[in-house]
């Protein structure tokens, strides 16, 4: 941009200079020489300007590509997490004695393993033209729905699942019906249709209860709670999380149960039910310790510290935040350490020890800067500014 302005400026001055020389009747050779110099300068500036503009556009495009890739990656991660939960159902196809059906199933699954879902879908469509039993047909419908979901054709996926649902109900096949409702709920989440997801999780809950599947019932209740959280309905989320926790589970579900307790406790804290939140956090803490999950143990300790801080018990709050910091330091969790230091600074600030609060905020800021946590950096800088103002009073 600047080179273009300079180019225009020099061009105007040069034209004025040559015009004056002509009027003053200076020698022709001098005027020609000045014209040639002007021409060379113009060529040089055009080259510089084009290079500068080109480089600027390349840099600008590069930045846009990086920003675009980042947002796509986040969206892809969300989709990948939901797609990974889709369940295949083979059912009667496992026992079929029809050679052509066996061949198409095998070929379709081979393409599915290679994530070539368009090919998978075409092969399974060929299978539907064969003479199939209702059980074989519903299995293909579920597999085809999964392929459509991976291709982001969510409406088509839902259509196949509904065809499978009808056959499941006609045959009284609750196992296949549970898979169908679970996949329908996930695809509605992929399409950001939370009401549809809720409807199918409730249907799934009914099927699990009919089957006597206690763990499935607990999982469905938890998923209903999480969808209500996404909708911002804290009361309903709390209700279904609580009902889920009332159902006992095995040791392998210890971490999931602890995480759910922690989530429910956070909801209680938002509603001001600090004692109920504290009880759930303490139970979650016990489970995380039993499972040897040090990182989540530190997180829960910090949450307990926040509750004591809300209750005005600053001594206890400081103890729990300090314990969390010790664990996060041991496991090398920089983000956890920075959060712990921020929480300690907050307790000290609440206790009006502004000098020490500033010290802990600055330590937290150094760690946040180290890991480039931009939002946290701005937040802690604001806290530092507040305590500095307090110190001046």
At 143-179, the pLDDT tens digits run 999 999 999 999 999 999 999 999 999 999 999 999 9
pLDDT of 8 over the 70 cut: no
- The 10 Å Cβ neighbour count of residue 2 is 8
Query: Rounded to 10 degrees, what is the CA torsion of 256, 258, 264, 265?
Result: -160
Instruction: Report residue 292's pLDDT band, with 50, 70 and 90 as the boundaries.
Output: confident
pLDDT of 295 over the 50 cut: yes
Superfamily holding 317-393: Tetratricopeptide repeat domain (1.25.40.10)
Instruction: Report residue 82's pLDDT band, with 50, 70 and 90 as the boundaries.
Output: confident
Listed in sequence order, the DSSP H helices in the chain are: 2-23, 28-83, 99-113, 117-128, 134-150, 154-171, 174-190, 194-211, 214-231, 234-245, 254-270, 274-291, 294-311, 314-331, 334-350, 354-370, 374-392
Return contacts of 144-147, CB within 8 angstroms, 24+ apart. 145/183, 145/187, 146/86, 146/88, 146/183, 147/112, 147/117, 147/118, 147/120, 147/121
Radius of gyration, CA atoms only, the chain: 33
Mean pLDDT of the region 280-289? 86
CATH number, span 89-212: 1.25.40.10
Tell me, what's the pLDDT at 369? 92
**Residues present in the chain in total:** 393
Tell me, what's the pLDDT at 70? 36
The domains spanning 89-212 and 317-393 adopt the same CATH topology: yes
**Percentage, residues of the chain above pLDDT 90:** 54
- 353-384 burial, b if ≥16 CB within 10 A, otherwise e? bbeebbbbbbbbbebbeeeebeebbebbeebb
pLDDT digits (tens, 9 = 90+) for 11-46: 565 556 556 555 555 555 555 555 566 655 656 655
Q: What is the pTM of this model?
A: 0.60
Residue of higher predicted confidence among 261 and 363: 363
User: 260 with 222: CB under 8 angstroms?
Assistant: yes
Query: Rounded to 10 degrees, what is the CA torsion of 364, 369, 374, 380?
Result: 30
**Percentage, residues of the chain above pLDDT 70:** 79
Tell me, what's the pLDDT at 392? 87
Return contacts of 155-158, CB within 8 angstroms, 24+ apart. 155/191, 157/183, 157/187, 158/184, 158/187, 158/188
User: Cα–Cα–Cα angle for 377, 379, 380, nearest 5°?
Assistant: 70
The domain ranges of the chain are 2-70, 89-212, 317-393
Beta carbons within 8 Å of 85's beta carbon, 6+ residues apart: 182, 186
Rounded Cα–Cα distance for residues 53 and 51 (Å): 6
- How buried is residue 115: exposed, middle or buried, by Cβ count under 10 Å (0-12/13-18/19+)? exposed
Rounded Cα–Cα distance for residues 196 and 189 (Å): 8
Instruction: Name which of 154, 206, 140, 224 is nearest 184 in CA terms.
Output: 154
Rounded Cα–Cα distance for residues 378 and 27 (Å): 68
pLDDT digits (tens, 9 = 90+) for 331-369: 999 999 999 999 999 999 999 999 999 999 999 999 999
Tell me, what's the pLDDT at 255? 77
pLDDT of 59 over the 70 cut: no
User: 222 with 182: CB under 8 angstroms?
Assistant: no
Residue of higher predicted confidence among 39 and 197: 197
User: 194 with 231: CB under 8 angstroms?
Assistant: yes
Rounded Cα–Cα distance for residues 14 and 131 (Å): 88
Residue of higher predicted confidence among 273 and 255: 273
Q: Which of 24-28, 133-137, 242-246, 325-329 has the lowest mean pLDDT?
A: 24-28
pLDDT of 130 over the 50 cut: yes
Q: What is the mean pLDDT of the chain?
A: 83
Beta carbons within 8 Å of 7's beta carbon, 6+ residues apart: 42, 45, 46, 49
pLDDT of 67 over the 80 cut: no
């Amino acid at each position: 941009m600047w080179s273009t302005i300079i180019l225009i400026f020099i061009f105007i001055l040069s034209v004025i200079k040559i015009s004056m020389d002509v009027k003053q009747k200076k020698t022709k050779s001098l005027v020609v020489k000045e014209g040639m110099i002007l021409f060379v300068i113009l060529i040089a500036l055009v080259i510089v300007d084009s290079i500068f503009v080109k480089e600027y556009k390349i840099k600008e495009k590069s930045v846009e590509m990086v920003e675009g890739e980042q947002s796509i990656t986040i969206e892809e991660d969300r989709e990948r997490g939901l797609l990974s939960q889709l369940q295949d159902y083979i059912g009667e196809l496992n026992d079929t004695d029809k050679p052509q059906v066996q061949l198409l199933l095998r070929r379709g699954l081979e393409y599915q393993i290679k994530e070539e879902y368009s090919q998978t879908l075409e092969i399974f469509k060929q299978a539907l033209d064969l003479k199939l039993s209702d059980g074989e047909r519903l299995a293909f419908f579920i597999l085809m729905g999964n392929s459509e979901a991976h291709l982001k054709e969510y409406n088509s996926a839902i259509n196949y699942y509904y065809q499978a649902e009808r056959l499941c109900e006609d045959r009284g096949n609750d196992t296949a019906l549970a898979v169908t409702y679970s996949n329908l709920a996930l695809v509605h989440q992929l399409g950001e249709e939370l009401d549809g997801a809720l409807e199918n999780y409730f249907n799934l809950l009914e099927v699990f209860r009919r089957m006597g599947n206690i763990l499935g019932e607990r999982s469905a209740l938890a998923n209903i709670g999480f969808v209500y959280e996404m909708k911002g309905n804290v009361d309903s989320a709390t209700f279904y999380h609580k009902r889920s926790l009332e159902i006992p589970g095995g040791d392998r579900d210890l971490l999931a149960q602890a995480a759910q307790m922690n989530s429910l406790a956070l909801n209680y804290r938002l509603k001001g039910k600090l004692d109920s939140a504290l009880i759930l956090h303490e139970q979650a803490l016990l489970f995380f310790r039993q499972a040897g999950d040090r990182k989540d143990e530190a997180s829960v300790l910090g949450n307990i510290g926040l509750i004591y801080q809300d209750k005005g018990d600053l001594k206890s709050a400081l103890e729990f935040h300090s314990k969390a910091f010790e664990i996060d330091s041991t496991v090398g969790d920089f983000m956890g350490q920075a959060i712990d230091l921020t929480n300690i600074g907050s307790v000290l600030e609440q206790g009006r020890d502004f000098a020490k609060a500033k010290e802990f905020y600055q330590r937290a800021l150094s760690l946040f800067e180290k890991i480039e946590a931009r939002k946290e950096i701005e937040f802690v800088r604001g806290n530092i500014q507040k305590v500095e103002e307090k110190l001046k009073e």
